[in-house]
Structure 1
């Protein structure tokens, strides 16, 4: 059975409200994310690979902003360490409802707990892996430093943070180029100029991107010993931060 197609912004007479992860978005999210975020499939699958490498016995693994559970599932399929628990957190009930059905249909053994909460409030406890895939960008700027610091404090020595984000560029020419390339990517995946424009209007002031240098500095200020990019496609990137 094919996944529902994202046509949320296709109606030229439709009202453009601020973007939110409601039931309509949850229904089409797999199609939306695949056609909107270049490299998304790679980021998710490699998050699982990294979780398999860094998970330690008896630890917690966190998927913060888990949406429909793609990263949770990738981690669950790769973790071999004993007695681990994946804690999947999202503040949108509609996303968690669908996430639950995804996790329930999976046969791997690692325990998963689904938590409806704001990631700015969730405690990070005895973690070996924390994944933030395209989530921090929706958190108010003033709270982002505290989120990263709490992750650092909650990680075991040798633990890892995977941080994936839409990014912006300090150089205006590079920024404009990467925005244009992203829009071209969306056109080639079937979105019209109307849909691209309406989605951009809906997400303005909801998703606030930052530069890669800002993310690196924030991670190091929190205490991470190493932080740098392992994947980038246009204005979407993923970083690894390591705790010694």
Structure 2
């Protein structure tokens, strides 16, 4: 696993963050040192797949990056005759994801990896759909339509697992949890320069929302039950049941 050093030198101009080859090379290290509870979420995606995957259904990892959630779903698969679709719009991520899946012989069968915009992917006969820190990178104006499409393409009893960085209406709480998150990153070896420069790179790319905003949108999109099952600081994961 390559170490993330993308922002460790002072930059005169900081470009918007993108999931290019440079990020793909260090993505595993980057996300594990940046997102509190990331491994726990993957472990529970495996467990939730055991509970909710229905025989003969489709499962989707939308914005799959290197396929962490894809592998979790594959490892948790108990239902027969299921197909997993892993989709990402970054060709660099998809290329590396395919290599990772090829090395995981026991999971590669029944997994299809595609490079595409998730807003254009057809969702059909789905029992489990994962958006693992993906929706935050979709323009806010497109988020409801995407979630509505996902819900419409699900079987009754199907679930969406939605993980996101979030903000809080209470300014004190928002500042407190953002500060604790920066402390988390420092504890995992990031310098203040790296934290500052990456924050600038993400400012116009990753747009977080509040937990109530996510909940209300999911209910409006057609899900019957929505609640938070995991939260650590300003990161959370929701389970939405059709």
For 1:2-21, list aligned pairs within 5 A: 3-13=1-11, 15-21=13-19
1:57 and 1:142 mapped to 2: Cα distance? 34
CA RMSD of aligned residues (A): 0.9
Query: Relative to 1, partners in 2 of residues 1:148 and 1:13: Cα closer, same or farther, differing over 3 Å?
Result: closer
* Residue ranges of structure 2 left out of the alignment (5+ in a row): none
1:226 and 1:80 mapped to 2: Cα distance? 24
The partner residue of 1:70 within 68, 71, 76 is 68
Establish whether residue 38 from structure 1 lines up as the match of residue 75 from structure 2. Answer: no
The Cα of 1:146 is off from its aligned counterpart by: 0.4
1:108 and 1:83 mapped to 2: Cα distance? 15
Match of 2:192 in 1: 193
Three-state SS of the structure 2 residue aligned to 1:219 is helix
2:238 and 2:8 mapped to 1: Cα distance? 33
The Cα of 1:130 is off from its aligned counterpart by: 0.2
Give a deviation string over 1:142-183, Cα, whole Å, max 9, x none. 000001100100010010000000000011111000110100
Match of 2:98 in 1: 100
Match of 1:80 in 2: 78
Three-state SS of the structure 2 residue aligned to 1:143 is helix
Three-state SS of the structure 2 residue aligned to 1:120 is helix
TM-score by length of 2: 0.98
The total of aligned residue pairs comes to: 241
TM-score by length of 1: 0.97
Give a deviation string over 1:173-208, Cα, whole Å, max 9, x none. 110001101000000000000000000000001000
Q: Name which of structure 1's ranges 14-23 and 61-70 shifts more when overlaid on structure 2.
A: 14-23
The Cα of 1:14 is off from its aligned counterpart by: 5.7
Match of 1:128 in 2: 127
Three-state SS of the structure 2 residue aligned to 1:167 is strand
Give a deviation string over 1:59-98, Cα, whole Å, max 9, x none. 0000000000000001101101111000000000000011
Structure 1 segments, 4+ long, off by >6 Å, are: none
1:172 and 1:13 mapped to 2: Cα distance? 30
1:144 and 1:122 mapped to 2: Cα distance? 14
Three-state SS of the structure 1 residue aligned to 2:223 is coil
* Residue ranges of structure 1 left out of the alignment (5+ in a row): none
For 1:1-244, list aligned pairs within 5 A: 3-13=1-11, 15-109=13-107, 110-243=109-242
